[in-house]
Amino acid sequence: MLLSEERASERLDADWVCRRYEEIRARLPMARFPATSRRIGNLGDLSGEIDVFVLDGYGVLNVGTRVVPGAPERVAALRAAGKRLFVLTNGASYPAARTLLRYRRLGFDFTAGEVVSSRDALARALAGRQELRWGFAAVEASAIGELAQAGVRLGDDPADYDAVDGFVLLSTGDWNRARQDLLLASLRARPRPVLVGNPDLVSPREDGLAAEPGLYAHEIADLTGCAPEFYGKPFANVFELVRERIGAGPDSGVPPHRIAMAGDTLHTDILGGACMGWRTVLVLDHGLLKGFAAGSLDRLSDIRPDFIADTT
C-alpha cells in the first residue's frame, strides 16, 4: 500500500494508517501483550501502581499546537504525588531546546533531562558516522549542522541526491511527492544508507493526521529493497535512552512493571513499551484513535495495551 499522490493529498484516516502498520509489521520489533486491557479514566488512576510515567507527546500532551485539555494539571498532580515523569516523542524536526520550550509554552514544567526524542537516538548513531556526507529531508529550522558535520538539506535539485553518501529522513515539513521520487530514483541508481529520525507513519494535528518520515521510509523499503535504519519508537534505541535516565535495572528500585508508557498509537508507543517489559497505556480521546471504541481495537491489531484511558 503505497503513498500515492492521491493518498498524499487527501486526509489520512486511522483505519488506513493501522492497515499500513500491519503491512509493515515484519519490520517492527516483537513483544508479548496482556490477555485483556483494563479501562481507566486517566493516568491519575494508576498512581498507586506506577512510579515512572513515560509520556508520548502528540496525542497525549498536545495535538499539533494545542495542549490536550487537563494534561498540564495531570502532569503536575502526578509530580506532586512523587511520580517521575519523562516525555518520549518521535518528533525529530527540531533541536531539544526548541522542543522543551514548546512544552513549557503549553504549560508543562518538564526539565531538559525529562524530554527524550527520537532525534537523540539518531544523533547518537550519526556521531560515529561523521565521515559521511548526509542528505537530509528536513525543514530550515531543523539545525542539521548539530547532527552532521557534512550535511545538505534536500530540495528539488537531483544533483544533491546523487552527491551524498546517505540519507536522513528527519522531517516531512517541506517534503513532497516530487522530492520522494528524486530520492527513490537516486537510491535505485546507487543504494546507500537511509536513516529515519521519526518512525511514525502519521501524527495527529488540529485538522487531521499528517504524514511523517516513517510513511515515506517504508515506501522506500517496498520499492527499492533498501532496509532503512529506524531511530525512535517502537525501536529499542530510543527506549534505552529513557531507561538510562530512569536508571532502571536490578539495583535501581524501579522494576519494569512499575514503569508505564502512555501513548496514542498501538504500533509505536504500546508496542515499544511492551518490548521493554513496561506496562502500557493507550490514550484514546486525542490522537490517532480518537473516536474509536475501546472494544473495537482488536480489529485493528493484536497489539494490546495493559490499560486503555479516555484521556491523559
Tell me the torsion sign for CA atoms 231, 272, 260, 69: positive
The CATH code belonging to domain 29-120+234-309 is: 3.40.50.1000
125-230 and 29-120+234-309 share a CATH fold:
yes
Strand order of the β-sheet with 115-117 is 38-40, 307-309, 279-283, 259-263, 52-55, 84-89, 115-117
Q: Are 168 and 135 in contact (CB under 8 A)?
A: yes
Helices (H), the chain: 5-9, 14-23, 71-80, 96-105, 118-127, 158-163, 177-189, 213-224, 236-246, 271-275
Retrieve residue 271's grid coordinates.
Answer: 508496542
Retrieve residue 31's grid coordinates.
Answer: 513483544
Q: Are 138 and 174 in contact (CB under 8 A)?
A: yes
The predicted pLDDT at position 205 comes to 84
How many Cβ atoms from other residues are within 10 Å of residue 242's Cβ? 23
Low-confidence spans in the chain with pLDDT less than 70: 1-11, 248-252
- Please report which helix (H) or strand (E) contains residue 205, including its range: strand 202-205
pLDDT in tens, 145-195: 999 999 999 999 999 999 999 999 999 999 999 999 999 999 999 999 999
In the three-class reduction of DSSP (H, G, I as helix; E, B as strand; rest coil), residue 298 is classed as helix
> What CATH architecture does domain 125-230 belong to?
3-Layer(aba) Sandwich (3.40)
In the three-class reduction of DSSP (H, G, I as helix; E, B as strand; rest coil), residue 293 is classed as coil
- As a whole number of Å, the end-to-end CA separation of the chain is 32
At CA 180, angle to CA 152 and CA 25, rounded to 5? 110
Domain ranges of the chain: 29-120+234-309, 125-230
The predicted pLDDT at position 293 comes to 84
pTM score, whole prediction: 0.94
Q: How far apart, in whole angstroms, are the C-alpha atoms of residue 152 and residue 244? A: 32
Q: How far apart, in whole angstroms, are the C-alpha atoms of residue 190 and residue 105? A: 44
The predicted pLDDT at position 98 comes to 93
